[in-house]
Amino acid sequence: MDSHTTPPISPLIYQPGFEVPEEGEVETIAGMLETLRHISEVTYKDSGHATRSVHAKSHGLLHGKLTVAEGLPPAYAQGIFSKPGNWPVVMRLSTIPGDMLDDNVSTPRGMAVKIVGVEGPRLEDSEGDVTQDLALVNGSPSFATPGPKKFLGNLKLLAPTTDKAPGLKKALSAVLRGTEKVIEAVGGQSPLIIALGGHPETNILGESFFSQAPILFGPYMAKISIVPISSSLTQLTKAPVDLDGKPDGLREAVVDFFASNSAEWEVRAQLCTDLDKMPIEDASVPWPEDLSPYVTVARISAPPQAAWSAALSKAVDDDMSFSPWHGIAAHRPIGSIMRVRKAAYQMSSRFRAERNGAAMKEPADLDNLPR
């Protein structure tokens, strides 16, 4: 990814006709809500505490600052990136499953970012808020399935394994990691093997993260990535992490790092320039970077800090929700994967609020975030 040059491109202007609902999309949403609620019910029954139906386990809860620089090219100076300035952020690092697994069950990772104090016309159901959320995962700039119907099929396969046979999951994960190493040694990659527990045991702080599905970018359309750039982070890319006998080894690595280190990431945008090669409704197609590279639009910095605590977990894991549908109209999520996510995030948030007695509310500032 070339984040330092801005080649001449002609981004497409969004048109409503670019979005075409998948056949049976309403039924797919209903099936997804039923499946995700089942995951939440199982974990709540066993623990007595409601967690997210996906990305339940957090490994780092960080406060930091997003900085938009002056002089962005006009096509990239859109929405929250339209003017230079600084905004506080809270960041949540997680892994994908809905149950609290030993970190030796090595699964894909996520990064959620909540930017606070943004201005502009709001998305439906976020009126009156001043936040913009980015929800990203590592591994690939494209989604595992083209649309929600196939994604629901995969989810139904994984849901029955929730909170069952943790020892067997650890053993299976070790086998899958070995299989994935063989595949990657010959230049391949298996998203399914990685999702089932074959993710390499590497430090989560060295990962790059991707929106995988598009959002509006002012009048245009874009995918977003967040990439580590400070040397303290880049040296952790693909670096092994010690998880032996450490069920929370990823969290320990994050806490140890931020005890004495600062970190910096770039936020990058890839604008859609060709609807055939960069489709909106098929999220499984990577957008070619030779047609439109990822270009830096902001930086996120995080100082040394206590990167996880029970108080932080209460404030962020329990009392906050992260959704790409928390934001301004200039960054409305688009495409079928994003459309079905709206109902899923809302269901998960309501479930946790009802079971935990938490008052879910978007923050107006981060002054009261435990430090």
Angle at 136 between CA 134 and CA 140, to 5 degrees: 145
CB-based burial label for 297 (10 Å; 0-12, 13-18, 19+): buried
Residue ranges of domains in the chain: 16-23+58-147+167-336
CB-based burial label for 74 (10 Å; 0-12, 13-18, 19+): exposed
Q: What is the mean pLDDT of each run of 10 residues along the chain (371 residues)?
A: 62 96 91 90 88 93 96 97 98 90 87 97 95 95 87 76 51 41 46 59 96 97 98 97 92 98 98 97 95 97 98 95 96 95 91 88 92 82
Residues 6+ positions from 232 with CB-CB distance below 8 Å:
257, 261, 262, 263
Q: Which of 276, 364, 265 is nearest to 320 (CA)?
A: 364
DSSP string, 94-132: EES-SS---TTSB--EEEEEEEES--SPBPTT-TT--EE
The β-bridge relationship of strands 109-116 and 85-95 is antiparallel
HSE-up (13 A, CA, CB side) for residue 3: 15
122: β partners: 328
What stretch of H or E contains 191?
A: helix 191-196
- Cα–Cα distance list, 71 to 10, 43, 83, 297, 298 (Å): 19, 48, 9, 10, 11
Residue 144's pLDDT is 83
Give the whole-angstrom CA distance, residue 194 versus residue 176. Answer: 8
DSSP 309: -
| Tens-digit pLDDT profile for residues 111-141 | 999 999 999 999 999 999 999 999 999 988 9
Residue 6's pLDDT is 65
Residue 194's pLDDT is 53
Q: Which of 112, 15, 36 is nearest to 340 (CA)?
A: 36
CB-based burial label for 246 (10 Å; 0-12, 13-18, 19+): middle
Please report, as a single letter, which amino acid is at residue 17: G
CATH code reported for the domain at 16-23+58-147+167-336? 2.40.180.10
| Tens-digit pLDDT profile for residues 222-270 | 999 999 999 999 999 999 999 889 999 999 999 999 999 999 999 999 9
Q: Where are the beta strands (DSSP E) in 327-366?
A: none
Give the whole-angstrom CA distance, residue 281 versus residue 284. Answer: 9
Q: Where are the beta strands (DSSP E) in 215-369?
A: 215-217, 220-228, 263-271, 295-302
Give the whole-angstrom CA distance, residue 291 versus residue 181. Answer: 31
Tokens for 369?
């975030």
Grouping H, G, I as helix, E, B as strand and the rest as coil, residue 268 is strand
Place of tokens 């982070």: 233
Give the whole-angstrom CA distance, residue 139 versus residue 279. Answer: 20
